[in-house]
Structure 1
Amino acid sequence: MTTRPILGAALCRDSLAAHRDWLLEAPRDLELQHFVDAPVLDGDWSGLADEVNRLLDGHQGRRGIHGPFWGFTIASYDPEVRRIVARRMDQALDVCAAVKGTHVVIHSPFTTWGYNHRGLYPTDTARLLEATRDTLGAALSRASDMGVTFVLENIEDVEPSDRAMLCAELGWQALELSVDTGHAHYAHVSTGAPPVDFYIRAAAGRLGHVHLQDADGFADRHWQIGHGTILWPSVFAALAQARAAGANPRLILELRDKAGVVPSAQYLKAMGLAE
């Protein structure tokens, strides 16, 4: 029995059926990307959810969804915008229940602009915390009752510990950390942030989810693993430390070209890093 972590993937409607056998060969975690767009959430998505459940009959891994994120932040200073975002989070939980999911990915509110202006406006951190609390409070309470976890993904984050601070300040059990390796590599190369493994180490035992993608550090590439410049041994060494601290993260291959999912898994297996 291998002790190496088992890889999962983020898939959409067109790629789910093609990867069914791979998903069922081991308890591979799955993230559904069907439900990020507002027209889908505002429409009748029940047939799509039923289709997903039929395709995944026999699936033993954890499943979840990427939540909505286009056009907003979870820490808007505008109360009207916060109400819209709160409704989107509630819709995401409706979907999560329908597809038997246990996680919802949401995006970090921390920006490069905010990092570079830190200290100039002393009330900014308090305002961000209060805005996030107002936006997510009801959804996180509902998620806790459902057994669902929101995982907070780094986007522009320069300081790896910022999201951990946010989780600690808000004190919600239904909120964990996600690390996107390509986002972290972009922040490292383009904005002077630490390397990818520092983001994973900062999350430690609160790490609930990882998006695995390769990149060059210039943009959010979502390349097949091995096609970019991320140092994967350091990433998986940090993941081993997080697991030792009590984390059990979903390891999700999130690639632009879904044809690269199985080759990426094979690449990491050949390195002795994952299954």
Structure 2
Amino acid sequence: MDLRLALGLAEALERPSFPEGVGLEVYLDPGLLEEDEPFRQLAAKRPKRLSVHLPFWNLDLLSPDPEVRGLTLRRLLLGLDRAAELGADRAVFHSGIPHGRTPEEDQRRAERLAAALKPVVRRAEILGVELFLENTHEPSPEGLKAVLEAYPELGFCFDAAHARVFSHTPEPAPWLELDPHHLHLNDTDGLFDRHWNLGQGVLGHRDWLGPFLDRTLVLEVRGDPGPSLRLLQELAAGRLTPS
């Protein structure tokens, strides 16, 4: 099982070790993105399996503000350069769609987003870093589907908590039809993006996650990930049955 733990860059540097057999997905904090030393330190201690989460706060490639559009592109491209410096095999990013967009707005946006992503996809291909688009505030999978179809080399990262809390398509099944090869795993009460351990909330991972255990699984949980690790081990061993 390709299992990784999500940590911020500073947190990853402070952590003395990682759980046995567990890789790392590091969030590239924009406050540290342009500093070389943290990346040298992480490259020296990184686990064998490493992915990055590109910056996303307040970023949007389609922002009506041209300065935000320019900043977003620079952040994504520099993030990919840092991923390559670290030896990361993959990078996850958000579409930047604002919360509360209608399905029609999402569809209209998809073609423009595909065009805006061209230099990002190209940079990732040149650097040898697989790129994955994660669902965040999209109302349904349709807008993402259009972008993924525009770039066959672009993968899908599924976050079930985002689907439940932020979208108008709360159940996993329609999103799973996009065939995610990278999954962000945590649990929620259904109202807020809690980042709880698996089994603590309402997402019912035992009911749908089994066929995707051969994909890259990233635990995005706050605090001790032990309960989530145990649930995944039991699920892989077939000791958990659907609820």
Q: Does 1:149 align with 2:139?
A: no
Tell which has more relative contact order, 1 or 2 (C-alpha 8 A, sep 6+).
1
Is contact 1:177-1:208 (8 Å) kept?
A: yes
Task: State the alpha-carbon separation in 1 of the partners of residues 139 and 157 from structure 2.
Answer: 15
Q: 2:217 aligns with which of 248, 251, 265?
A: 251
Q: TM-score, normalised by structure 2?
A: 0.85
Q: Does 1:85 align with 2:72?
A: yes
Q: 1:60 aligns with which of 13, 37, 48?
A: 48
Which residue does 2:192 correspond to in 1?
Answer: 219
Secondary structure, aligned partner of 2:181: strand
Residue 208 of structure 1: how far off its partner (Å): 2.9
Please report the RMSD computed on the Cα atoms of aligned residues, expressed in angstroms: 2.5
Is contact 2:100-2:139 (8 Å) kept?
A: no
CA shift in 2, pair 1:270/1:127, >3 Å: closer
Q: Give the helix-richer structure, 1 or 2.
A: 1
Task: State the alpha-carbon separation in 1 of the partners of residues 86 and 125 from structure 2.
Answer: 17
Q: Does 1:98 align with 2:85?
A: yes
Secondary structure, aligned partner of 2:177: helix
Which residue does 1:10 correspond to in 2?
Answer: 6
Residue 184 of structure 1: how far off its partner (Å): 1.6
Amino acid in structure 2 at the alignment position of 1:211: H
CA shift in 2, pair 1:112/1:90, >3 Å: closer
TM alignment of 1:1-275, pairs within 5 A: 5-12=1-8, 13-15=10-12, 18=15, 20-22=17-19, 25-26=20-21, 28-33=22-27, 35-37=28-30, 39-41=31-33, 43-44=34-35, 46-56=36-46, 59-61=47-49, 63-111=50-98, 113-115=100-102, 118=104, 125-134=107-116, 136-168=117-149, 170-171=150-151, 173=153, 175-187=154-166, 192-199=168-175, 201-204=176-179, 207-239=180-212, 249-257=215-223, 259=224, 261-272=225-236
Which residue does 2:241 correspond to in 1?
Answer: none
Structure 2: state its 5+ residue gaps.
239-243
Q: TM-score, normalised by structure 1?
A: 0.76
Percent of pairs identical after alignment? 26
Query: How far does the alpha carbon of each residue in 1:42-82 deviate from its partner, in whole angstroms, 9 at most, with x for none?
Result: x32x21112112222xx332x12111111122332444432
Task: State the alpha-carbon separation in 2 of the partners of residues 216 and 83 from structure 1.
Answer: 36
Query: How far does the alpha carbon of each residue in 1:188-215 deviate from its partner, in whole angstroms, 9 at most, with x for none?
Result: xxx542412432x2221xx231110000
Secondary structure, aligned partner of 1:150: strand
Task: State the alpha-carbon separation in 2 of the partners of residues 216 and 149 from structure 1.
Answer: 32
Task: State the alpha-carbon separation in 2 of the partners of residues 137 and 262 from structure 1.
Answer: 39
Task: State the alpha-carbon separation in 1 of the partners of residues 124 and 52 from structure 2.
Answer: 13
Task: State the alpha-carbon separation in 1 of the partners of residues 100 and 11 from structure 2.
Answer: 37
Amino acid in structure 2 at the alignment position of 1:144: E
Secondary structure, aligned partner of 1:129: helix
Structure 1: state its 5+ residue gaps.
244-248
Query: How far does the alpha carbon of each residue in 1:80-110 deviate from its partner, in whole angstroms, 9 at most, with x for none?
Result: 4322211111110121111111222211344
